[in-house]
Structure 1
Amino acid sequence: MGKVKVENIRAYAHHGCLKEETAIGSEYRVDVSVDADISKAAVSDKLSDTVDYVLINHIVKEEMKTPSKLLEHVGHRIIKRIFNEIPIVTAAAVWVSKINPPIGGDVEKVTVVLEEKRIL
């Protein structure tokens, strides 16, 4: 078993409950960690035997383009796509962060963390 992490994926997106958030948009950061049996790839040196982190980045970028009210919804969509498109992934964790959220204070970011295991 092993982990593949893709960290600090940056995107400009239009998520939020406020009308202004969906109209103006803001900066986001997404981090992904997946568990998979990557022992075969360690021996074979073949991309087809491991988790393609380029595909993870692509999934995140595509899902961030679809507006949602809640970061939880975006994170859930990302995890579902990972499970659908990368069969060797057994568990996934996604951190979705909104940078400089409009919450009336000096806050760097808010982050929602979702962790799911593949249902067999």
Structure 2
Amino acid sequence: MSKIYLEDVKIYAYHGVLPEENIIGTYYILNAEIHIDLWKASESDDLNDTISYADVNEIIHNEMKIKSNLLEHVAGRIISKIHEKFPEISYIRLKITKTSPPMKGEMKGASIELEKSFKPDH
């Protein structure tokens, strides 16, 4: 299986249950792992035989602009939109880290990770 990764995509956004999170916002770090057959593209050197990282990145940025209470909801939307645009994808794993969660103590961040397998269309 072939994989595409988008690593440490840093986006400023406004998600959270607390009202101040929707006003102040914070940075989020997103990591995506996408399983797709890349062998045809490896031979053809043609963008039509793979998926565009730029398109995936655009989906991530667009969905991160939509305020949500839960990162799980944001991740679910991103995964659905990516698969909707690229139905040939067989698996997506997405991790979203809130870099400054409003909690006691120092930490690098609080994260959620969602993954979903898609059955190939026959």
Q: TM-score range by the shorter chain?
A: over 0.9
Q: 2 CA distance for matches of 1:55 and 1:103?
A: 34
RMSD between aligned alpha carbons?
Answer: 1.0
Shift of residue 86 of structure 1?
1.1
* 1:98 lines up with 2:87 in the alignment: no
Shift of residue 51 of structure 1?
1.8
Secondary structure of 1:54's partner? helix
For 1:1-120, list aligned pairs within 5 A.
1-119=1-119
Q: 2 CA distance for matches of 1:105 and 1:75?
A: 26
Provide the aligned length of Structure 1 versus Structure 2.
Answer: 120
Secondary structure of 1:89's partner? coil
Contact 1:33 1:93 in 2 (8 A): yes
Shift of residue 24 of structure 1?
1.0
Q: 1 CA distance for matches of 2:100 and 2:107?
A: 6
TM-score between the two structures when normalised by the length of structure 2: 0.94
Shift of residue 87 of structure 1?
2.1
TM-score between the two structures when normalised by the length of structure 1: 0.96
Q: 2 CA distance for matches of 1:62 and 1:10?
A: 13
Contact 1:10 1:29 in 2 (8 A): yes
Shift of residue 66 of structure 1?
0.2
Secondary structure of 1:92's partner? strand
Name structure 1 gaps, 5 residues minimum. Answer: none
Deviation above 6 Å: which 4+ runs of structure 1? Answer: none
